[in-house]
Structure 1
Amino acid sequence: MPLSEHEQRLLDQIERALYAEDPKFASTVRGAKLRKPSRRRRIQGIALFAVGVALLVTGVMLPKLAGIPVVSVVGFLLMFFGVLLTVTTLRRGDQGAEEPDEEGSRPSSRSSFSQKMEERFRRRLEDE
């Protein structure tokens, strides 16, 4: 359903205010390019973990060099870094999400501009 002219103007106004208030955040929210490397890094981390498991199992079957299972150790390290890469990528994706505070109504990290806009919107809904 398309927006009315009034809604479109309000949306444009909100967007301009957001760019003026916090241009770095606005460019982060606007660009979908930042999501794709995150997905790519998750896949790389999972693949690294799988290769690490394969090397770990292969190292158990191969003879040890000087009493040290070198292939198994390398496999374990690859598994570790794969999991680390995947988990840190997941956490970075979750940082942008706002959590509601104790009241459950408003996120605690909202700016004064967004609070004003929300309050205006509520008043308009109540008037109708």
Structure 2
Amino acid sequence: MPLSEHEQRMLEQMERALYAEDPKFASALEGTGLRTFTRRRVYQAVAGFLVGVALLMGGMIAKLTWVGVAGFLVMLACAVLAVTGWRKAGRPAEAVPPGRQGRLARRHQPRKGKVMDRIEERWQRRRDEQGQ
């Protein structure tokens, strides 16, 4: 279930407050390490695909069927890894067109439950305490 506009605004306010209070901690939670790891894995899969092509061609030239089949299997496995890894890596938030941000955010949002209610209540109490 997607977040409402009010909930999205509240979440953005909490993120800004977190960055203001502790930017080092906020940047650690950002998740750029996972994106870098996934992209590195995609590049390795592409290199593996090229090795598979070389094995396939080498097997054909040397007339060794098992080497050609092994090369094909390496190519297939690396292609699957590259495609799935590329989808997981996603695009950084700056690269997402403004019109699609809402749709992408809604698709990947967890369901709202008791946890979100408690966080929102705490946030409201905190804002009320700071305002007084």
Q: If the length of structure 2 is used for normalisation, what is the TM-score?
A: 0.51
The structure with the largest helix share of the pair is: 2
Q: Is the 8 A contact 2:39 2:89 kept in 1?
A: no
1:59 aligned onto 2:59: yes
Which residue, 67, 71, 74 being the options, matches 2:67?
71
Task: Point out where structure 2 has 5 or more consecutive residues left out of the alignment.
Answer: 1-9, 19-25, 117-132
RMSD: 4.4
Which residue, 75, 78, 83 being the options, matches 1:82?
78
1:45 aligned onto 2:45: yes
1:15 Cα deviation from its structure 2 partner: 1.8
Q: 1:11 to 1:76 in 2, by over 3 A?
A: closer
Q: 1:12 to 1:87 in 2, by over 3 A?
A: closer
Deviates more, 1:34-43 or 1:45-54: 34-43
**What is the aligned length?**
92
**Residue identity opposite 1:86 in structure 2:** A
Task: Point out where structure 1 has 5 or more consecutive residues left out of the alignment.
Answer: 1-9, 19-25, 114-128
**Residue identity opposite 1:70 in structure 2:** W
**Residue identity opposite 1:77 in structure 2:** L
Q: 1:77 to 1:60 in 2, by over 3 A?
A: same
Q: Is the 8 A contact 1:42 1:86 kept in 2?
A: yes
**Residue identity opposite 1:33 in structure 2:** G
Q: 1:29 to 1:96 in 2, by over 3 A?
A: farther
What does residue range 21-40 of structure 1 map to in structure 2 within 5 Å?
A: 30-40=30-40
Deviation by residue 1:13-66 (Cα, 9 ceiling, x = unmatched): 522888xxxxxxx889613111111111111110110000000000001133xx
Q: If the length of structure 1 is used for normalisation, what is the TM-score?
A: 0.53
Q: 1:48 to 1:30 in 2, by over 3 A?
A: same
Give me the whole-angstrom Cα distance separating, in 2, the residues matched to 1:93 and 1:59.
Answer: 34
Give me the whole-angstrom Cα distance separating, in 2, the residues matched to 1:60 and 1:105.
Answer: 48
**Structure with greater Cα Rg:** 1
